[in-house]
Amino acid sequence: MDPRLINQLMRHAIRLAQKTPLSPSPNPRVGALLVSPVGEIIASGYHRTAGCDHAEIVVLKSAGKLSGDETLVVTLEPCCHHGKTPPCIDAIIRSGVRKVVVGCIDPNPAVQGRGILELRRAGVNVTLGIEEARCIELNAGFITRHVANRPFFSLKEAATLDGRVFAHGLRKITDVHADRLVHRWRREHDAVLVGIATVLADNPQLTVRFASRNRPQPARVILDSAARTPPSARVVTAHESRCLIAVGPRAPARRIASLEKAGASVLHCRVRRGRIDLDDLLNRLLDQNLYSIMIEGGPRVTQSFLAAGLVDRIDLLFSPRLSGICRGAKTILPLDHGPSFVTALLAELSLKTVGVDIWIGGYIPDSKFYRYLIDAPRQSASPQYRPQVADKIRETASP
C-alpha cells in the first residue's frame, strides 16, 4: 500500500476519534479503520465511552468475515489487558487480520508496547509511528495521566493588545469568531476551571455553546477555599454537566450544605497560604476521571498554575483593542505578585488570525507532556517496537 495513502488513512482515523462527544476518560480517544489491500475503507469506527467496545472491536464487528488481506489502521496501540472489556489483541488475532498500522504507543503501564509485541508474536505485521504526533495530541489528557500522574492543563486567556484581561468599562474582549474557538476548546477537555473571583465578577455558565444539545458538556471546576460561590450562580444552576467546587477545611458547613443542595459537588481539599493546594487538587481531579483541564481563570489562578509548573499548553487570544491606563486594569500574566519565571519560547507555536483577533498558542517546552511528545519518535524507533518499513513511511509523510 502506498505510504502516503497510509498517512491519509491514519488522519481519517484521527478525525473519527475526534467525533467522540466528550473525552471518554478514563479511556483514550481512539479511531480505527479496516481497509482492503488497495486502500478502500471496509469499516470504520471509534471508541465512544468507557465500557463500550473499543474502536478495533467496532470495526471488526462491522466488517464481518475477513479474508486476512485487510489492514487495520488504529490511532493507539491495541490493548492487551482485561479491563471493562476483553483485550483487543485477542479479537484482532482471531479475526485473521495480518497487518496492523498503529499511530502511537499506549503509555498505560498495563500496555506500553506489550500489545504490539503480542501481535507480532502471533505473526501480525505491525507498523508503528504513523502520524505519531497527531495521535499523541489526540489524547493529551490520557497520556499526561500516565506519564506525569496528573491531568493535562491548558491555559486560555483573552487580552487587549496592551495585555489587559480586565478593565472597567470593558465587558467583552474578543469577537464571536474567537468565542466559537474557545467553545470548541472547551468541548475538547474534560473540565473547565476558574477561580471564585471569576464566578463572583462574571457569573459565567462555563458551558459549551455553539454545539448540538445532544453533546455532553465538560465538568466545571471552581477554586473556592471559603465556599463563597452563591448557590444561585449560573455555574451551579446550569445542570448540563457537573459543577465541582474545591473548598478548604475552614469553609463554613452551612455554605457547603447550600451548594450541595443546589446540585454542586464539593471537593474537600487542603489549603496552602489561603488558597486551594494544587497538589491536593490534582488527586481530586484524577479521582473524578478528569484528565484534561482548560484553565479560564483570571490572573491569580493563571499565576498559581504557572508557578507550580502545571501548565502544559498556553493559548492566548489578543484583541486589537487598547484598554489604556484605567482603574482596575489587570495584566494577562501578573508575575510581579509571585515567583519569578524564566521566559521561554512556546514550542510547536501557532500564530493565526481568528476574525479580528490574534491567536498565539503552543506548548510549555519543559512540560512533561511536551517532553513525551518529542521523545516518542525515539522510543517507537527502538528495535523492539518498530520495523524499518515505518521509517520509509515517515519520510514520505505529508506535512
Write out the catalytic residue numbers. Answer: 56
**Could you write out the DSSP letters of every residue in 326-358?**
-TT-EESS-GGGS------PPEEEEEEEETTEE
Q: Three cell numbers at 8?
A: 491519509
Q: In terms of C-beta density within 10 A (0-12 exposed, 13-18 middle, 19 or more buried), how is residue 254 classed?
A: exposed
Dist. CA 259–CA 246, nearest whole Å: 11
Q: Which residue has the cell 510581579?
A: 336
Dist. CA 27–CA 46, nearest whole Å: 12
Q: Enumerate residues 6+ apart whose C-beta is below 8 A from 399.
A: none
The region that residue 36 occupies, defined by phi over 0 for left and psi between -120 and 50 for alpha, beta otherwise, is beta
Strands 31-35 and 191-195: unpaired
Strands 313-318 and 152-159: parallel
Candidates 155, 178, 154, 185; CA nearest to 319 is 178
The region that residue 178 occupies, defined by phi over 0 for left and psi between -120 and 50 for alpha, beta otherwise, is alpha
